Amino acid sequence: MTKEEIIISLPYSKPFLFVDEIIHIDENGVEGSYIFDEHLDFYKGHFKDHPVTPGVILTEAMAQIGVVCLGIYLLNNEFTKNSVIALTSSQIEFLKPVYPKEKVIVISEKMYFRFGKLKCQVKMLNEAEETVCQGTIAGIIKT
């Protein structure tokens, strides 16, 4: 699968698609990016005078790029629109805020992939290449 085909295969759509680009992907990991649109609804109420991206959204972006995109790649042509994806665990440490219009880079390294379960070490960097959050995320993909 190409990088573009992987993004098209994701079971998400705007406003809940947090993948703009896959920069690099291979059997050991993935790197991708996303720019947080300032008009996303959660910014209206998450610190109303000083909007910040919620941690759960940062975790979701890390999961979409770092686990789901990689899982689709690893499954190659076995992934279909009938495949089921589920988050099984996440342990994320938040270090810096992410603001509206900010571009982030997600870098994921595969820890293991067996029996449909993928576990990755994932980190998110801001445009200054500072780590804004990091941790482990695991999920299952059933085809």
The active-site residue, picked from 24, 39, 46, 50, is: 46
46 is catalytic: yes
Rg (CA), the chain: 15
Residue 10 DSSP class:
S
What is the spatial distance between Cα 134 and Cα 31, in angstroms, rounded to a whole number? 14
Place of tokens 């899982």: 71
What is the spatial distance between Cα 90 and Cα 67, in angstroms, rounded to a whole number? 11
Which positions are catalytic?
46
